[in-house]
Each structure stands twice: as structure tokens, then as C-alpha cells.
Amino acid sequence: MKPKKQTEAIRTQVTVSGSKEHAVPMFLTSSFVFDDAEEMRAAFADEIERPIYSRFSNPNVDEFVEKMCKLEGTEAGYATASGMAAVFGTFAALLKSGDQILSCRSVFGATHTVFTKIFPKWNITAIYADIDKPESWESLLTPDVKMIYVETPTNPGVEIIDLEWLGAFAKKHNLLLVVDNCFATPLLQQPKKFGADLIIHSATKFIDGQGRVMGGVVLGPKNLIKEIYAFCRSTGPALSPFNAWVLSKSLETLDVRMERHCSNAFQLAQWLEKRKEDISMIRYPFLPSHPHYGIAKKQMSAGGAIVTFELKGGAERGKRFLDAVKMLSLTANLGDTRSIVSHPASTTHAKLSEEERAAVGITPGMVRISAGLEHVDDIIADVEQALNASR
């Protein structure tokens, strides 16, 4: 019987050395030694698979990638120094001057900057589509569109895109479908099942899960990963062996951590939904009030750790709320064991214009909470006292 993917995430590891270690050692080396000139020639000619140089590959990085492939059900993968390195490397490797990307309008702020400030220098442009108007996507297509890129759930509004519909749409128009699966993790959602060609993660978030290291990974079929690897091998956004070792060990606890993250977030969302005197809007994928609740239930096994809500009182109330929290952390991250609160309009999405933020539902009073692993009563108690203090 094939092991469950949670078991594979724990038991997959590189070949044990002569010391017969139980935990995999760190391969903190920049290069690897060859037995003779012929072996060295064959390795550089890609005739044999073996480590050459840690910018190309490293046993710790290989182990992390292999685990992620098993979790997402893909053939191959390539790990990078950050989530944005995985995003940029994927686009840069597979697109050329004149190509266009069809993207959901709701994307992470740095990705928006790549689309609007960086890629236009190379004549690569993005076309934004509305998540809630799938009937309009076909009219946005041009002969130059080569790729569809989406986040689901989106950052920060936790909107949900119907991956079954999108997979069929991409196949119909022969377009590469790239899905950022960071918020869901492979345990809550597997985009490949719905037709995604490539899946991207910022491993800095839930994969690490403890706010320690940065990393990214892109997963998919061998032919596409080979192109991404070739680009990144020469341009250098390699994941460090130490970070790879940390991330690989982190995957061993991802399943149990996500259970608590999702449970805490769901209970927090249910509690917030009753605070109508303070909250004008609450978004959590597994709340029946979420506009995409049916889609979320269809393609996700749980609702994730992110809760977004709109405070009555706008930006000033949002600032007072953040200043009033006592336990929750104010930091530029999510997916940590510690609960985190942020104000997207002034932080992660500050580079967007007011009009661009409004178009993706980022309002002045929007607050995003990444529910951590503390006892849920303590999370709710801190949110409650901050709500009261910020009135």
C-alpha cells in the first residue's frame, strides 16, 4: 500500500551516510568532489545526476524538493531563495518579449510590482481579470497571452478562484496555468488535480511555519521545471542548504500544524462574525457567508489560517486596533506559530494605488490576521480587547 502523503513528508530523506544518522545532516558546502576527470565531464554534460555545485543542486535542497513533489503530486520541482524568486524565475524562464500573462487582479503586492514595473521593461505585460466575472475572461485573451497566473486563496482578501473551471479554461485555450498555493499549502488543496501546470509556494510561510527562514519552490512536470532550473542555475536565486534543511524538517510537522491553524482561524472567524458593532465585513473561506464558500468547500479540505475583516471606522480605527493588540505580532509575515496581524493597505499592498487597492477589495479599514498555534481563547481575548480599545 502506498503511504499517505503526510507519512512521505516525514519519511522521505536523502541517502543515509556511513554514520547511519537518523536525522539528515546539513550539507553546508559550496561544491562537491569528483573521482576523476570523466565523472566531472559527465556531470557537467548532464549525462549523470550528482551534485556539482550548491547553486545548481544540493542534497538538502533535493530532499526538500522531493518532499514537496510528493505532497503536490508533481514530477519535479526547483527550490529558490524566496517565494518571490520562485514567482519571478517561473515567469522569466517561460516568457519572452511580447508575451502576456492573464492574471487575477488580486495578487500579492510584490507580484503586482513585477507585473507593472519590472516586466514592462522587457515588453512582458499582464492583463488583470475579475475573479467574480469568469464569463469575461475569454474576452480578455489576445494571441500574445501565454500563461494564466492566480492565487487562491488570494492575499489578503482570501477570495477563492474555481480551479476546476480555470483548469478547463486553460486547457481549452492551450495556456500554461500557474497557481500560487501558498495560503492553502499542499495539505488543504492540490491545484494539479484541477489542471494546474505549475504550483508555486513561498516556503517562508506555512512550510517553515515558525518565522525562521526564507525559501520558495515551484513544482510541475519535468519539461517545464527543466526550463526553470536552467534559468535559475545561471541567474542564481538558489535556496541555501541550511534553509533547505530547516524547511525539510518543517514539513514533518506541517500536517499537525495546519490542523491547529485551521481550527483556530475558523473559531476566530465565527466569533468575529458576531461582532457586528465592530465589523462590517468578515472573510474566511469556510464561513457560509463567504461569497465563494461553495467553491472553497469543493476544492479545499479546510479553510486555512487567514482571516480578513473590515473594521468600522476605516484606516484610523485600523491603526488604533493594531496599536492596541498585546499578544498578536505586528510583522511582515504570515503562517507562523505566533498569530500575526497586519494592515494590508499600509504594508503589503502599499505600492498599489488607492484605485488599484479598491479594485481588489483592499479597503482602508481591512485587517488581516494569520491565526497561529496559541490557544484559541487567548487569540480571541486579545482581538476582543483590541476591538474594545480601538472604538
Co-location of 293 and 363 in the same domain: yes
Q: What is the pLDDT of residue 15?
A: 86
Confidence of residue 360 (pLDDT cuts 50, 70, 90): low
Q: What is the pLDDT of residue 354?
A: 73
228-260: per-residue pLDDT in tens? 999 999 999 999 999 999 999 999 999 999 999
Q: What is the pLDDT of residue 5?
A: 85
Rounded to 10 deg, the angle between the 314-324 and 376-390 helix axes is 130
Q: What is the pLDDT of residue 109?
A: 86
Residue type, 71: L
pTM of the predicted model, to two decimals? 0.95
Percent of residues, the chain, with pLDDT higher than 70? 98
Kind and range of the H or E element at 188? helix 185-188
Query: How many domains are there within the chain?
Result: 2
What is the pairing mode between strands 198-202 and 216-220? antiparallel
Co-location of 227 and 333 in the same domain: no
User: Mean pLDDT across the chain, nearest whole number?
Assistant: 95
Co-location of 162 and 283 in the same domain: no
Q: What is the pLDDT of residue 343?
A: 85
Q: Does residue 114 carry a pLDDT above 90?
A: yes
Q: What is the pLDDT of residue 26?
A: 95
Confidence of residue 314 (pLDDT cuts 50, 70, 90): confident
Report whether 50 contacts 43 (CB < 8 A).
yes
Q: Does residue 352 carry a pLDDT above 70?
A: no
Co-location of 174 and 322 in the same domain: no
Q: What is the pLDDT of residue 129?
A: 96
Domain boundary among 195, 228, 253: 253
Confidence of residue 280 (pLDDT cuts 50, 70, 90): very high
Co-location of 158 and 241 in the same domain: yes
Co-location of 359 and 382 in the same domain: yes
Co-location of 358 and 295 in the same domain: yes
| Nearest-angstrom CA–CA distance, 336 and 327 | 14
Co-location of 70 and 33 in the same domain: yes
Co-location of 74 and 101 in the same domain: yes
Domain boundary among 253, 274, 308: 253
Residue with cell 479597503: 363
367-389: per-residue pLDDT in tens? 999 999 999 999 999 999 999 99
Co-location of 216 and 314 in the same domain: no
Read off the CATH number of the domain in which 279 is found.
Answer: 3.90.1150.10
Q: Does residue 35 carry a pLDDT above 70?
A: yes
Mean pLDDT check: name the lowest of 150-159, 193-202, 217-226.
150-159
Domain boundary among 226, 253, 280: 253
Q: Does residue 19 carry a pLDDT above 90?
A: no
* DSSP 8-class letter at 191: G
Answer with the residue of higher pLDDT: 99 or 343: 99
69: its cell numbers: 513533489
Over residues 66-90, the mean pLDDT reads 98
Q: Does residue 356 carry a pLDDT above 90?
A: no
Co-location of 139 and 98 in the same domain: yes
Q: What is the pLDDT of residue 348?
A: 67
Residue 341: strand pairing partners: 330, 369
Read off the CATH number of the domain in which 78 is found.
Answer: 3.40.640.10
Co-location of 54 and 169 in the same domain: yes
* Domain interval for residue 268: 254-390
